Structure 1
Amino acid sequence: MKFKSLLAKPFASIVHNKIKKEMLKAVEDQEAILQELVKTGRKTEFGNEHHFNAVQSYDEFKQAVPLRDYEQFKPYIQRIKEGKQNVLWKGQPIYFAKTSGTTSGVKYIPISKDSVNNHIDTARNALLNYMGETGNSAFADGKMIFLSGSPELERVGGIPTGRLSGIVNHHIPRYLRTNQLPSYETNCIEDWETKLDKIVEETINQDMTLISGIPPWVQMYFDRLIERTNGKRIKEIFKNFDVMVYGGVNFEPYRAKLMASIGGPIHTIETFPASEGFFAFQDSQEQEGLLLNTNSGIYYEFIPANEIFNENPTRLSLKDVQTGVNYAMIINSNAGLWGYNLGDTVKFISTNPYRLLVTGRIKHFISAFGEHVIGEEVEYSLMRAAAEENVQITEFTVAPKVQTSGELPYHEWFVEFENPPADLSAFANRVDANLRQKNIYYDDLLRGNILQPLKIRNIRKQGFIDYMKAIGKLGGQNKVPRLSNDRKLADELSAYIQQ
């Protein structure tokens, strides 16, 4: 055992035990966090406007603080950009995390001196907890790669601003810097394909032990490595590669191809980070789901997903959630986000401890006819059919086809296959049957001859990559939405259908 892995072991054990203890007092910690948030918030412009001096309980907090999305927060963000102090949180943010919004354009998410540790410490704890659970610390002695955005920061209203992954890069501990790849200069390259080629050059002869990133871009990195080594699998190139950390999208649609590329068993650690906070991580290699991060400056609320567009939806604290229900996640944080609708949906699979699955995005659904099909349902339907026919999926998305010439409307699926099914029509029927089983409203629409069965369009090889390149969103933290309720994405993808 080498020096770094030896040093990490006792620290990992401490963190692992601390996390196990915190599992038992999640509700208690959440109540304490709310009190601390409100106490500090009383000294802010937001707290004054919302009468925080009169807030003593969660029920009073719900009455005082309405739900907001980013668009409704923009006036506060604008005042911060103008140099105002104590707007949403004490002082000013130490960073803005810059992220692309689907409806709001570029978003500037505040990160405060108090909240930055949520991002840094949770990422660290996910790895240390894994070490503590499995006893595997050997990867700490090898090279680690974090496929991320550029660490170069601009200034917006005098505040350092950039992609979250780039901000976090500035906080990697000094003792890990010698393990980290790619180089700072390579990380600063904006063009993804140029950057990827440089990453391959810098890593191909290194002892890579941990690789982290969003699955489709990790796969692109693997593809380049395999191409450069005349077909070698990743475990042949990196013999000590042992751990893959991922987040941002559901892993299942990418699992088969990634594992085939790797060519051997590895451990994986799933995470749930966002610019607004680091919310959950996989705490067990044996148990399904992600452990909610309940003691890190964030107070969570949950709204049944089917109520999110109601005028007065039900708002629940952690102690009142139930397993098996899709919830929209609302956060209140020590970055100054209050009643903030994150846009993600989650489903608890355990409340002792609080473990969840990320099931999709509120705005990513199809309900052109009242069916309200969600991401979890389309992923299940496709991946079950793929497993039954031993088919590997590279990428996919779904949209409604409403206006048709003389035929019933339908759901149109755009799928890029690693190995396409022998009979695409029969495969589509399998997917359709799975979706009908999963969503009774969709089934009713087909039974009532309002919809016809779904149709699959075979996207050519590299089609999604070429599309993302064409719109300037190749690599980094960018993701293809699973569902759209309009035709914008579908119409653009039509140019990439296999002829």
Structure 2
Amino acid sequence: MKFKSLLAKPFASIVYNKIKKEMVKAVEDQEAILQELVKTGRKTEFGTEHKFNAVQSYDEFKQAVPLRDYEQFKPYIQRIKEGKQNVLWKGQPIYFAKTSGTTSGVKYIPISKDSVNNHIDTARNALLNYMGETGNTAFADGKMIFLSGSPELERVGGIPTGRLSGIVNHHVPRYLRTNQLPSYETNCIDDWETKLDKIVEETINQDMTLISGIPPWVQMYFDRLIERTNGKRIKEIFKNFDVLVYGGVNFEPYRAKLMASIGEPIHTIETFPASEGFFAFQNSQEEEGLLLNTNSGIFYEFIPANEIFNENPTRLSLKDVQTGVNYAMIINNNAGLWGYNLGDTVKFVSTNPYKLLVTGRTKHFISAFGEHVIGEEVEYSLMKAAAEENVQITEFTVAPKVQTSGELPYHEWFVEFENPPADLAAFSSKVNENLRKKNIYYDDLLSGNILQPLKIRAIRKQGFIEYMKAIGKLGGQNKVPRLSNDRKLADELMAYVQQ
């Protein structure tokens, strides 16, 4: 055993046991965090406006603080940009995490001196928990790569601003710097394909033991490595590659191709980070779900997903959630986000401890005809058919198609296959039947001749990558939305359909 892995072992044991203790007092910790947040919030503009002095309980907090999305937070963010102090949280943020919004353009998410540890410590704890659970510490001695955005920061209103992954890069512990790849200079390259070629150059002859990133961009890295080595699998190139860390999208549509590229089974660690906080991570190689991060400066609320657009939806704290229900996740954190609608939906698979799956986005659904199909349902329907037909999926998205010629409308699926099905029409029929069984509204619309069965358009190889490149969103934290209620993405993808 080498030096770093030797040192990691007792530290991992301490963190692993601490996490296990926190599992059993999650509700108690959440109640304490709410009290602390409100106490600090009383000294802010937001707290004064919302009469935090009178807030003593969660019920009073719900009355005082309405739900907001980023668009409704923008006036507060603007005041912070103008140099105002104590607007949403004490003082000023130490960073703005810059992220793309679908309706708000660029979003500037505050990260405070208090909240930055949530991002750093949770990432560390996810790895240490894995070490504590499995006893595998050997990867600490090898090279680790985090496929991320540029660490270069600009200043907005005097506040250092950049992609979350770039901000976090500045906080990598010194003892890991010698293990970290790519180089700082390579990480600063803006063009993703140029950056990827440099990453391959810097890593191809290294002892890579851990690789981390959003699955489609990890796959692109793997593809380049395989191409450069005349078809070698990743485990042939990196013999000590032990752990794949991922997050940002559901892994299942990418699993088959990624694992085929690796060539051997390896351990994976799923994470649930966002600019607004690091919310959960996979704490077990044996059990389903991500452990909710309940003691890290964030107070969570949950709204039944079918109520999210209601005027007065039900707001639940952690103690009242149930397994098997889709919830929109709302956060209140120690950077000054209050009643903030994150836009993600989750489903608990356990309440002892509190473990969840990320099921989609509140804005990513199709209900053009009243069917309210969500991401979890389309992913299940496609992946079940793919597994039965031994088909690998590279990427996909779905949109409604309204006919103008008198024909019935339908859902149009754009799918890039690694290996296409022998009979695309038969495969489409399987996917359609899976979705009918998963969503009763969709089934009713087909039974009532309001919709016709879905149609799949096969996208040519590399088509989604070409599309993302064309719109300037190749690499980094960018993702293809699974579902749209309009035709913008679908119409643009028509240029990439196989002829």
Could you say what secondary structure the match of 1:477 adopts?
coil
Q: TM-score under structure 2 normalisation?
A: 1.00
SS in structure 2 at match of 1:74: helix
Report Cα offsets for 1:19-45 as digits up to 9, x if no partner: 000000000000000000000000000
Aligned to 2:152: 152
Find the residue that maps to 1:412 and give its secondary structure. Answer: strand
- C-alpha displacement of 1:265: 1.4
Q: Distance in 1 between matches of 2:404 and 2:238?
A: 51
In 1, distance between residues paired with 2:443 and 2:204? Answer: 49
Counterpart Cα distance in 2 of 1:423 and 1:403? 25
In structure 1, the residue matched to 2:326 is 326
C-alpha offsets along residues 318-361 of structure 1, whole Å, 9 cap, x if unaligned? 00000000000000000100000000000000000000000000
1:403-414 residue pairs with structure 2 within 5 A?
403-414=403-414
Alpha-carbon separation, structure 1, partners of 2:466 and 2:311? 41
| CA distance in structure 2 between the aligned counterparts of 1:90 and 1:457, rounded to whole angstroms | 52
SS of the residue corresponding to residue 168 of structure 1 reads: helix
Is the partner of 1:32 in helix, strand or coil?
A: helix
After superposition, the C-alpha distances for 1:441-492 in whole angstroms (9 at most, x for unaligned) are 0000000000000000000000000000000000000000000000000000
The separation in 1 between residues aligned to 2:365 and 2:431, in whole angstroms, is 17
Report the alpha carbon displacement of residue 111 of structure 1 after superposing the two structures with TM.
0.0
- Distance in structure 2 (CA, Å) of the matches to 1:160 and 1:403: 49
Q: Secondary structure at the match of 1:309?
A: coil
Following superposition, the deviation at residue 403 of structure 1 comes to 2.7
Q: Deviations over 1:340-384 (max 9, x none)?
A: 000000000000000000000000000001000000000000000
1:71-108 CA distances to partner (integer Å, 9 max, x unpaired)? 00000000000000000000000000000001110000
Q: Distance in 1 between matches of 2:470 and 2:274?
A: 25
1:47-66 CA deviation, whole Å, 9 max, x = no partner? 00000000000000000000
Structure 1 vs Structure 2: percent identity of aligned residues?
Answer: 94
Does residue 211 (structure 1) correspond to residue 204 (structure 2)? The answer is no
For 1:191 and 1:406, locate their aligned partners in 2 and report how far apart those are by CA, in whole Å.
45
- CA separation in 2, counterparts of 1:478 and 1:391? 25
Question: Helix, strand or coil: the match of 2:122?
Answer: helix
Shift of 1:143: 0.1
Q: Residue deviations 1:410-462, cap 9 Å, x none?
A: 00000000000000000000000000000000000000000000000000000
Using the alignment, how far apart are the partners of 2:405 and 2:212 within structure 1?
46
The two structures, once aligned, show a CA RMSD in angstroms of: 0.3
Per-residue deviation at 1:137?
0.2
Which runs of 4 or more aligned residues in structure 1 lie more than 3 Å from their structure 2 counterparts after TM superposition? none
**What is the CA–CA distance in structure 2 between the aligned matches of 1:284 and 1:101, rounded to whole Å?**
32
Deviations 1:293-327 (A, max 9, x none): 00000000000000000000000000000000000
- How far has the Cα of 1:407 moved from its partner? 1.0
How far apart, CA to CA, are the structure 2 residues paired with 1:93 and 1:408? Answer: 52
- Quick one: distance in 2 between partners of 1:261 and 1:35? 48
The equivalent residue for 1:191 is 191
CA shift for structure 1 position 112: 0.1
Distance between the aligned counterparts of 1:207 and 1:150, measured in 2?
23
Report the Cα distance in structure 1 between the residues aligned to 2:406 and 2:441, rounded to whole angstroms.
23
Return the alpha-carbon distance in structure 2 between the equivalents of residues 188 and 136 of structure 1: 32
Cα deviation for residue 402 of structure 1 reads: 1.2
Q: 2:134 — aligned with what?
A: 134
**Post-superposition shift, 1:2?**
0.1
Deviation at 1:217, TM superposition (A): 0.1
Provide the aligned length of Structure 1 versus Structure 2. Answer: 499
Q: Partners of 2:458 and 2:283 in 1: how far apart?
A: 37
Q: CA deviation at 1:497?
A: 0.1
Aligned partners of 2:154, 2:403: CA distance in 1, in Å? 45
Partner of 2:367: 367
Counterparts of 2:402 and 2:144, CA distance in 1 = 47
2:448 match: 448
Once residues 40 and 472 of structure 2 are traced to their aligned partners in structure 1, the CA distance between those partners, rounded to angstroms, is: 41
Whole-Å Cα distance in 2 between the matches of residues 102 and 240 of structure 1? 40
Deviation at 1:405, TM superposition (A): 1.7
Alignment partners' CA distance in 2, 1:244 and 1:426: 34
Q: Deviations over 1:182-210 (max 9, x none)?
A: 00000000000000000000000000000
> How much does 1:404 deviate?
3.7
In 1: Cα distance, 2:135 partner to 2:375 partner? 35
SS at match of 1:62: helix
CA deviation string 1:145-189 (max 9, x = no partner) = 000000000000000000000000000000000000000000000
Could you list the per-position Cα deviations for residues 237-293 of structure 1 after superposition, in whole angstroms to 9, with x for gaps in the alignment? 000000000000000000000000000111000000000000000000010000000
Question: How far off its partner does 1:406 sit?
Answer: 2.5
| SS, match of residue 342 in structure 1 | strand
Tell me how far apart the structure 1 counterparts of residues 341 and 467 of structure 2 sit (CA, whole Å): 29
Q: Per the alignment, in what secondary structure is the counterpart of residue 114 of structure 2?
A: coil
Q: For residues 127 and 327 of structure 2, what CA distance do their matches in structure 1 show? A: 27
2:439 — aligned with what? 439
TM-score, length basis structure 1: 1.00
The DSSP-based 3-state class of the residue aligned with 2:273 is: strand
**Partner-residue secondary structure (3-state), 1:457:** strand
Q: Distance in 2 between matches of 1:212 and 1:476?
A: 12
d(CA) in 2 for partners of 1:333, 1:476: 25
CA distance in 2, matches of 1:370, 1:62: 30
Structure 1: give runs of 5+ residues left out of the alignment.
Answer: none
Equivalent residue for 2:276? Answer: 276
Tell me which residue corresponds to 2:27: 27
Q: Distance in 2 between matches of 1:285 and 1:479?
A: 26
Q: How far apart, CA to CA, are the structure 1 residues paired with 2:117 and 2:404? A: 52
**1:26 & 1:403 partners in 2: Cα distance?**
51
Gaps of 5+ in 2: none
What's the secondary structure of 2:453's corresponding residue?
coil
Aligned counterparts of 2:377 and 2:425: Cα–Cα separation in 1: 20
Q: Counterparts of 2:349 and 2:235 in 1: how far apart (Å)?
A: 33
